Structure 1
């Protein structure tokens, strides 16, 4: 990693707060962009910025070498339009500020498949971030397993709250979950590395598995028991989102936007090219689950 000053957008979020800590520990000068800098208490220097306000971005990006883009609006019904406009704003502001590289955490999914609105939006943002000429490095991930992540939180709450589950047919779709520690490690590894400019890397853990597999393993790690699970074909994404809202604290809009992506197989297909740049084997899913639960317990929360 060779970067003088790194701006992290979404610095208070699930991935952003861990990334700012890792970069700071590595001796990097970090600006943590947030809409409420007075309330920020994390690593780095807080700077005001809003992807919907181009003027604020000009100030936040001034003097920045690399910008990490971790912004999305999944909890909004019109998230595709919001995310597209935000990406355009950021691309122009980064180019005007002379930023050398934008790093973006996107979503896995083959380009020739029928992508869900969520994954289609992630792919559009990839393109828009580079539209003003700044080189973009894209890391595409499926479910990120770590304390505080929405997709992982769905899994944790389901196996905790239900003695048995009747689940939709789409839970038999394959995905490739990745530990939060590995996502952060890969992000740190590509920052400032010119070999990664204008490159797309698919990142995932060592196992391609179904959502059913994920639920079973998470249950065994958390409680030592396996939750009985029955798959049925009748739960549509809309009905599934209401089901999730009943048994978890994830809101209906976010749940539905996530669920619509879960019918698409999302696995690593590029041979783990990222390991040529950032060596090391990713953590197995069961270990990622253990670490997520341990971090939750360390904060005084139950499993």
Structure 2
């Protein structure tokens, strides 16, 4: 990315809203207690940004999650009450709703496969039932901006249905309807950013001429926080959008201007179907195909704010709504200083293994292939860990970059996640973060990084990188572990063995050399294969 805009955003601009502003702080209950808020989707793109702002605003926060370890690894993880469970399970929802005053419904199942609409319906019915049973005072749901009186794309129809289900319950519900959300790490922004930066000329579907009203992520958070303390009758739908209305092609060129890029030439083609367009987006951008399809489908309609009802529920933000160019500037600013709070690309991927790696004693009697390597170094554990924790993304894998890129491309073409997802930040890793075709399963500073493969492989695979202190410095070690599935899994490992020899030995040597800081290849290397 090349930018000619020297007007970098300030720290105050990047952190707004904080949630501690007087107009956004919690209203105490009649007994003086702070309201208890349940956030469904707390580890998602918006939920992960909303929770710390709710805490700053004086709310008590509870989160329902299938992976409590991921929440506990977050900076605010120890400040929230975590309930282990699934939003689609009645017992989990009833436990999570107990004593709750306000529910934020930020769950969307777009990456859950073809039946995401059915799953969204199940969760919505479960939330509505449990909220009514537990006497919840308010539900706040973020849906999608859409036109009335037309046949909607599946993604927008599902979001509308969820809103209708929640509005039909006796619990007062504020359904906020947003269009394209612009912010560092949002799927819509990443799609715009990569399409614009990669392609100087782009053939595109005719929907690039449709009208869209984008909204900055900061303004979405402002409205979500404001809806919690709104008074009066809140039951209804409220469109939210920024001050600008564009065609999608104009949004891309608006990004190009802010990023210091030449204007892009976009040709609207009437023959490109949403299916073809989603595959094109999946190959060119880091947005997974499962997420690209509903995003592309939602662009089939002109989606603009229909009325100003939101102004009667939540007054506009002080200083006004954020313009599109300004929201792009702020997003790029966060990326440049490596302060991307959350990323939609970290979303859970359907159809990939999510169970943790079995401990070594559990391997008895199972077929398992390993590649283990060790190397001593004069560098201390902290220096080695700094190198380990920056692996992947723009840094790469310290060896055979062409082979890593080729493997990622093969996975992308096969319908997998591919390596274009990169990583949210280049300097820090926490449990649940994405690193190219991997996901962080364990991150113990100066000790162990364990990555679980999300690429398409005939089996289950993990990669471990660790460091141990020694009298002379430390010992770096790494281990690739693969549990094959059937004959295809065994053949896959055998086929990859020659490449492993090149990739993994290069990783060991380069990681140690970088940690030592002089590019040398000292130390002692041992390779073990089974």
Provide the TM-score with structure 2 as the length reference: 0.55
The residue number in structure 2 matching 1:215 is: 252
Tell me whether 175-184 or 27-36 shows the greater mean CA deviation: 27-36
Question: Secondary structure of 1:239's partner?
Answer: helix
Over 3 Å counting, the alpha-carbon distance change for 1:275 and 1:68 in structure 2 is same
TM-score, normalization: structure 1?
0.94
Q: Secondary structure at the match of 2:110?
A: coil
**Shift, 1:67, TM fit:** 0.3
Q: Report the equivalent of 1:159.
A: 196
Post-superposition shift, 1:59? 1.2
Q: How does 1:114-153 map to 2 (within 5 A)?
A: 114-153=151-190
Mapped contact 2:167–2:236 kept (Cα < 8 A): no
Is the Cα–Cα contact under 8 Å of residues 109 and 119 in structure 1 kept in the other structure? yes
SS in 1 for 2:251: helix
Which stretches in structure 1 are left out of the alignment for 5+ residues? none
Alignment partners' CA distance in 1, 2:121 and 2:258: 39
Instruction: Say if 1:101 and 1:192, in contact at 8 Å, map to a contact too.
Output: no
Q: 1:170 aligns with which of 202, 207, 210?
A: 207
Q: Aligned-pair distance for 1:24?
A: 1.2
Match of 1:106 in 2: 143
CA distance in 1: counterparts of 2:196 and 2:122, whole angstroms = 37
Aligned position for 2:297: 260
Matched, 1:15 2:40: no
1:289 aligns to 2:328 (yes or no):
yes
- Range with greater deviation from structure 2 (178-187 or 261-270): 261-270
Structure 1 residues 122 and 153: CA distance shift in structure 2, 3 A = same
Separation in structure 1 between the aligned mates of residue 335 and residue 110 of structure 2, nearest angstrom: 23
- Which residue pairs with 2:103 in the alignment? 67
**Residues 113-148 of structure 1: CA deviation (Å, up to 9, x unaligned):** 221111111110011123442111010000111122
C-alpha contact (below 8 Å) 1:105/1:140 kept by paired residues = yes
SS of match in other structure, 2:177: strand
More helix as a share of residues = 1
The alignment status of 1:36 with 2:67, answered yes or no, reads: yes
Query: How far, CA to CA, are the matches of 1:62 and 1:183 in structure 2?
Result: 27
Go from structure 1 to structure 2 and tell me whether the alpha carbon gap of 1:290 and 1:90 turns closer, same or farther (over 3 Å shift).
same
Task: Note if contact 1:206-1:282 (Cα within 8 Å) is conserved in structure 2.
Answer: yes
User: Is the contact made by 1:83 and 1:125 (CA closer than 8 Å) also made in structure 2?
Assistant: yes
Mind listing any 5+ residue stretches in structure 2 that lack a counterpart?
1-25, 29-34, 340-392, 395-424, 426-530
Structure showing greater Rg: 2
How many residue pairs match? The answer is: 302
Q: Determine which of 292, 297, 310 is the counterpart of 1:274.
A: 310
- Structure 2 Cα separation of the partners of residues 159 and 132 of structure 1: 43
**Contact 2:64 2:87 (C-alpha < 8 Å) held by counterparts:** no
